[in-house]
Amino acid sequence: MSSPSPPTPLPDRPRRRWRTGRGTLGQPGADLARLPIGLDLRSVQISEGVRAGFAFGVVFLLAILLEWPPLLSMAFAANLTCFCDTGGPMGVRLRVLTTFSLIGGLLWGGLGLMRPLGLPVVVPAACAVIFACTYIRVWSIQAQAAGNVLIVVVCIALDRALTPAEAGLTAVMFAAGGLWATFLAIVIWRLHPYRPAHRAVADVWRGLARLVGDLERLAALPDPDTEAFDGHARAHRRGVRTGIETARTMILDLARSRERVSERTAQALLRLESAEQIFSTLIAVTELLDSRPSPGQREAARQFLRRLRPLLVVIARAIRDDATLDLARLERGLIRAEEGLSASDPSLARLAERILGRVRIGAKLSTPEGYRPGGLGQGGRLDWRARALDPLVQNFTFASPNLRHAVRATVVAAPALAGTLSYGGTFGHWLVITLVLTMQPFYAATWQRALERIGGTVLGGIVGAVLAYFAATPLWQAGLILALSIVGFAARQISYGFFITCLTPLVVLLVEVLEPGHSSWEIVGERAAFTVLGGVIAVASCLVLWPIWEPDQVRRELRRTLSDHAAFARAVLKAEAGEDREAVTGATARAAGLALNDLEAALSRALQQPRAGHHPEVEAAMVADATLRRISARLSVLRHLPDASDPEDLAWRDWIVGTLAALGDGQAPLPARPETPRGPSFARLAAQVDLLTGTLRPGESRAATLVPA
């Protein structure tokens, strides 16, 4: 076998970074190397905070007034149950919260009974529960949240040995507290069942408005470069696509839970579909602006975008507030938005007409044909095997990040449990809790979680110590605990670090009440020390124990993205006769967009992993990612303006589709480049495919290195 040729130098990454604010989990931002730890202030949930504070506070006040300690277990259980409630359909929430309440009570009582048996029995039993609690994240976000809180129950339950009578009473009171919080959330104080789904749809429309605003800024620049458009794509397309998929999942879960598509659910589906079509067309508009139009065309695009953005904002607010729109006034804005486009740029005018048509649909409150209320048909309720058993079986391989995470967390938790149970003292459980909850399947997520948890704990601890100093009586302490509980739960979606900052003062005051004899500064110091130690161990474990090497993940995601773009190109350029072209191109465009999101998530993790950011495969994938974004944009233009392509360019169509497919395959030879002249519509697309080929296949001997089969 011949030795591989030396790597061809790849283009240097631009030194000048795209200037944006710190990203959030919903809007990761343009710079893939920056952790998305920004604050999302729109996610404040006052009603959720008040409800959670009431569920916990009522029982806690009764415990203080009646001086009956078992009520504190009930209050604590109500508090933990509220942590498990991540929203969603009522049926799913009822199952998760009820199961948590019963299992949590059994775990607390059972582990308290086992505590006198010693470490050889207690540690393996606790580690088995920790493995199960971390592995069930494969089911859903709700299961992941319940599993994380059950780990807290396990760690605290091991603090004290219980007699059979105490274990039985503790289990009953814990279950009662959990069921009280569940009853309050599901029956008495129900949040609007449709509100989370409609809020998610409103967030998509708001994301479109942000995208349009940034695109208008680019259109106003005299000569925006390629880096500016790449930054725009990474800053907005990923967030909008993620928002669309999140909203779609919430709506379908809501429909499945009711086994029918109600009028409200159908309305949300329609508005989401309209938003997705607007998103696809805006990508085509971006490509027109990136193709160096004339100053007149650029100004026409800027005027259109400037008039479009307020319309999207108005619709987003109406969806969020469940308000009725003034359709007559909105129509005047729609007519004004498309004024003068036909004369200045016919292609832009046709794209604008398509966008404004979808805006009209999104503004209406009627249910269209095709989304009539009724049965779900093929989208109906999944059977128990598909919901519960299949995810467990499919992820039970060491190639799965979820199984690796569960094993890693269990292996690291075992010595930490043994050490803290032997020498940790009153607050030793904080080490294990921090260690397991900070650890995530990927290094980048673990590093981010550790930074946020440590920073939030230190800052919140200082605030908690100051508050504890001024709270001199039990009633003052109870009042502050209730207020902090409301604030903490209301703010838990803003960011993880902010949530920990709000939660830590609550923990400090609770310990002051439940464990008298410890000063507030002692509590803060021990919590900060255990948090820092647990965070450091969690980060180190992700690098040492069965690490997921991010360049390998990048390679796999790049290969899948290339294959999905080949399918997208085939649907746009080579649609079969009789095929539902719009349905096929829509599905392939969605798959290509999701694949690009996954590729950029892998790239972001790689850039945050030590030494991985300068790996040749990651450097090549960065170039390929930007190139694929431009290929996707050009395909979007040809999708929405099919007559813009030359029908006689059959050889170039075959070459583009074949080259993308061969790059995705990795081992397949590249098709020969056509010798025939190409039409102007394929000039930019062919140039991008050439760039992609030069990046990933500078020589056939490197093909297997960058994109192996």
* One CATH from 1.10.357, 1.20.58, 3.90.550, 1.10.3470 for 195-379: 1.20.58
> CA-to-CA distance for 624 and 627, rounded, in angstroms?
5
Q: For 344-396, how does the pLDDT look when each residue is reduced to its tens digit (9 = 90+)?
A: 778 888 999 999 998 988 887 533 443 444 444 444 455 667 777 888 888 88
- Position 19 pLDDT exceeds 70: no
Q: For 667-678, how does the pLDDT look when each residue is reduced to its tens digit (9 = 90+)?
A: 778 888 888 777
Rounded to the nearest 10°, the torsion over CA 608, 610, 615, 618 is -20
Kindly indicate the confidence band of residue 60, based on its pLDDT and cuts at 50, 70 and 90: confident
> CA-to-CA distance for 671 and 659, rounded, in angstroms?
6
The pTM is what?
A: 0.80
* Domain layout of the chain by residue ranges: 41-191+399-544, 195-379, 550-706
The alpha carbon dihedral of 489, 492, 496, 502 has a sign of: negative
520-544 and 429-438 helices, crossing angle to 10°: 40
Cβ atoms 130, 218 nearer than 8 A: no
Tokens 């942000």 locate to: 210
- Position 490 pLDDT exceeds 50: yes
Comparing 150-164, 386-400, 590-604, the range with the smallest average pLDDT is 386-400
Q: For 216-236, how does the pLDDT look when each residue is reduced to its tens digit (9 = 90+)?
A: 999 888 877 778 888 888 888
| Paired residues of 261 in beta bridges | 374
> CA-to-CA distance for 561 and 7, rounded, in angstroms?
23
